[in-house]
Amino acid sequence: MSRVLFVLTPQVHLLDLAGPAQVFSTAPGYELCYVAEATPVPTWQGVALHAALTWPELAADDLVLVPGWRDGYGWFGAAVLDRIAAHHAAGGTVASVCAGADALGRAGLLDGRRCTTHHDLQDRLARGYPSATVVRDVLYVSDRRVVTSAGIASGIDLALHLVASRHGPAVAARVAREMVVYARRNGDDRQESTMLRHRAHLSDVVHRVQDRIDAGFAEPLSLAALADGAGVSERTLTRLFTAATGNTPLRYQQALRVERAEHLIGHGSTVESAARAVGFTDARMLRRLRARSVPA
């Protein structure tokens, strides 16, 4: 079981915290912990939160997440910033929502990285950390185990992205649907989740077929079998799927494979091993699709 450690500061925004906490508490295999420099922790919305004063032992599979706070209030001491930096140095992932990116910057984790934050804070973040590249008008950015998101509700998008990256799109889809999230993405395709980007439609038939593809994207999936499982003809499925997602079922499956392969390659896999892991018989097709930047 992986830990998700939320690092809280006074005047923390409830939704910055509650959104990701709901995602990780709904997904399987996570233990949620909360730590602060003093407790209780006042929130901007008026609810006081209780948190531990000592950090648990963390492993590389654990996540440290810094929710945002009311502008002009949040602050962390050097000891907390050192712990955040040390977790990343030990191979862990660190994330932030909204103003929480400032804590990652003060911990030295934004230097030379792409990042984002709430649109009202982007100029300040760029001025404060000139060696960082602040990406504007996107929901989240992931750069070498540092994941930053825009304001408030985008913390849900960030958390769903991390669940999809670790457990695959089918698990993230189940979490999103259980939370009744109208999930979508903006900006750079490489920072988006293919599965969630194409769930913003109302076709039950297409949702069912996407569930099947999401769960078995590495398997050979024929159009005939997908159509039979959905109770429609192949022609009808192709028409409905294309209208809802802009892609055929095959191109959707290919996009899921490429997205997962990119994640594996980014974590040290060779192109050949990544291609096999996601269901390609050899690396040539993966190379062609990566070069083509298949949209989905």
The residues assigned a catalytic role are 98
Q: Please say whether the beta carbons of 68 and 20 come within 8 A.
A: no
Q: Please say whether the beta carbons of 39 and 10 come within 8 A.
A: no
Distances (CA, A) of 236 to 189, 205, 208: 28, 10, 14
